[in-house]
Chains A and B, each alone.
Chain A
Amino acid sequence: MAHPYMPNSAAESKATMMAAVGVADVDELFEQIPEDHLARESNGLAPGVRSEATVRRLVRGLIDRNDDCVANLSFLGAGLWQHHVPAVVDEIVTRSEFLTPVWGTTSSDFGRNQAWFEYASMLGELLAMDFVGLPVYSWGSAAGNAIRMAARLTGRGEVVVPASISPERLMVIRTYCGLVGGNDPISVRLVDFDPASGTVDVAALGLGPDTAAVYLETPNHLGVVETAVAEIAAAARANGTETVLGVDPISLGLLAAPGDLGADVVVGSTQPLGVHLHAGGGVGGFIATRDEERYAREYPTLQVSVAETTRGERSFGMTLFHQSSYGSREDGNDWTGNSVYLWTVANAVYMSLLGPQGFAELGRTILANARYAAGRVAELDGVTVRWPDGFFKEFVVDFSATGRSVADINAGLRAHHVFGGKDLSTDFPDLGQSALYCVTELHTADDIDALVTALKEVLA
């Protein structure tokens, strides 16, 4: 029986081609492969399922067996955040035209290129940065690439990172920075944050002659908005050090633009801008700088530039293509490959929909909701919120005084269909039995009531 995905699996098509090629058996076409290279063992796959209904039932069964963040009330964040994804975003990113381009030409995949340019343009407005590349795999990858850019720019070999960083992201950065004993590894020096404020200041960084970059995030992984970014960036510049700043773009209707704070390279996640969680499959990382040649020439990404056609129409092309690994193999900047370009379309639609007012209101709503939730949670006996005055949408809830572990509490909450905040007790032992709670525009007063009620029962 012909397979629905394969038009030429119909016997007649095959016969036509075989006649034209002049073979009686398809096996003859594999004459290049020596006999003793062919698979000896069975691959163990079952026969194909030609019925879509049957395949759908099977896969749906697995998907629907999960407990998701819609059927449950989730307070998980820590670098991947549940925000509202407007319906128009989903409509656009599931269009076959945007799902299927492979490379194309500047004329035939014009619309996709324009969407990419709009993505970079609008993100540039949020960041107050003029040069924005197409994204890389994730925030951690973007940070890794940016630190490598800084090392090439400065010829130095150390990056300073506050210890408040996400352990998940730090692992990515460490991979990108290489191993001691390899060629030119970049050493990652962690510096303590102030336990009283959750932030770092210039003195804490210990900038030295070999410091290529300071990698800082605001809000940081523990939710706190860093208050000394501008001072740190100024001190770094005086030291010949690049300031790489990680931000949550959804905060930027409310919080100062990184370009205005003096950051040199800005990175962050594209996921909050209209991409679902996808169990971590929604991540993407942006890299942006001022439009200065010294930075532009170190980008490892592809970049879309506005340009013109030979007859004067507006068009878009790749700028500095030759410095990618596609253009220069091992002599390119790091490497370039498939990334998360479809999500840039989602990001572009999202930023178009929100507009300046939307981002401003969204920032205020998130801040207000998170502060409200923190206040309510802190009313519980034995429960405190660390740094209650410094955070944006995530906050550290300390359960140490309850005598219960976060793991235990979260297990209890699950029975109430609540996903409690991310357990910090292993990665940040100094914080005791703490969890990182995330509250966004999606949470309602009823949701916070439900959380408080559930916590009360679990802690009882």
Chain B
Amino acid sequence: MTSSGPWAARARVLGIVVNPVAGMGGRVGLHGTDGQVELARARGAEPVAPARARRALARLHELAPDLDVVVAPGALGADHLPDATGWRVTVLDGPEPGAETTADDTRAAVSALVAAGVDLLLFVGGDGTARDVAGAVWAVCDDCVPVLGVPAGVKMHSAVFGLTPETAALAASRHLAAPERHGTRQAEVVDRDAAGDVRLYGTVQVPALPAGVQPAKGAPAPLADDATALAAEVAAELEPGRLYLLGPGATVDQVGHALGLATTPLGVDAVCDGRLLAVDADEATLLDLLARHDRATLVLGVVGGQGFLLGRGNQQLSPAVLRALAAADPAGLAGILVLATPAKVGALPEPVLHVDLDDPELAAELAGYRRVRTAPGRSTVLRVET
């Protein structure tokens, strides 16, 4: 839920920021465009984001013709507005950014939009943009402003994007019309770090998908994205004396919350007999804990929108840790509990999870079909590929 007041009380304000160079690297073989705009252009890349922005905003204008909009200047937003008759548009003050906008431009614009009191931040870009947007939001407050991404990047591992620009527009319009009705969900922001590893940077609130107001059978209903009940079920099953390693991600973090523990969604936490033994543990700590427990279970979520189980955002769960874990449980690696909400599973491009480990033998052991628990008494089966 957002902190905004009663939904009917006042007009909602939408903040818009566009990373105009997002997505340029993708078609020319780059893993992102941040800091590589020149190279992308040299390889013949065309801007992707402006067209995506216009698609989303044109649809949004149809859905919500009467709206207060605050938009970043120039190429960062205002340039991409459609014919917006009916929208009360405020363009942020500040210098027109140059053609080659930077991450700093994005962050500055987001700070200004948050300060302007927007109810929803709609950004156009990819994972890098998501990270910049989220970082600027976190600098002001934890997750006081919901964020929604119009997909336009090279990488979109973060779980903050609409499937298409039009679906993002739909979700935005529904959220702005009645935020309390549809609610928000916690979503992970992931991106590659300087070393090229995918890391989980934190979470933001994103609007829950539109509730089922469709008139007829067959209209898609939103998939449940609330992990609290599942987490409570898992928490109630924990065995005394067994070490539980809670992997990163919002879903697994709920298990910690269900136990009343201050776990972190960003790293691996260790829990035994209702006590928090380690928070955001590194590899050495994990190995040490495993050495001191003869029974242990790893609880994993699915990281990002691409379905990584291991090897992205949880590198501390190294081959050595996994081997120690397998040794501590007769079920071996088959004993790993995988949790993912129906929305998370539904958002996967295919029913496949990925494992990326520098240990082919271990990876092979993890491959195959694995049960994924989605809600109390509910599960599915996903293929794990290496």
Contact = CB atoms under 8 A, between A and B. Distances in A.
B85 interface: no
Interface in A323-363: 326-328, 330-331
Contact of B221 (A105, A322, A330): A322
B342 to A, nearest CB: 8
Contact of B219 (A183, A321, A330, A331): A321
Contacts of B221: 321-322, 327-328
B377 interface: yes
Contacts of B217: 103, 318, 321, 326
A420 interface: no
Contact of A322 (B211, B377, B378): B211
Interface in A294-335: 317-318, 321-322, 326-328, 330-331
B42 interface: no
A331 B375 contact: yes
Contact of A106 (B216, B224, B378): B216
Interface centre among A103, A183, A321, A330 (most CB of B within 10 A): A321
Q: Interface of chain B, helix or strand or loop or mixed?
A: loop
B94 interface: no
A322 B215 contact: no
Interface residues of B, number: 14
A317 B215 contact: yes
A87 to B, nearest CB: 34
Given A322-B211, A322-B222, A330 B378 contact: yes
Contacts of A183: 377
A317 B211 CA distance: 15
Interface in B172-229: 211-212, 214-219, 221-222, 224
B212 A103 contact: no
A331 to B, nearest CB: 6
A334 to B, nearest CB: 15
B317 to A, nearest CB: 31
A367 B222 CA distance: 52
Nearest to A103: B217
Interface in A401-450: none
Nearest to A321: B212
Interface of A: 103, 105-106, 183, 317-318, 321-322, 326-328, 330-331
Q: Which 8 A-B pairs have the closest CB atoms?
A: A322-B212, A327-B221, A317-B215, A322-B221, A106-B215, A327-B212, A326-B217, A321-B212
20 contacts: A103-B216, A103-B217, A103-B218, A105-B215, A105-B216, A106-B215, A106-B216, A317-B215, A318-B216, A318-B217, A321-B212, A321-B217, A321-B219, A321-B221, A326-B218, A327-B219, A328-B224, A330-B378, A331-B375, A331-B378
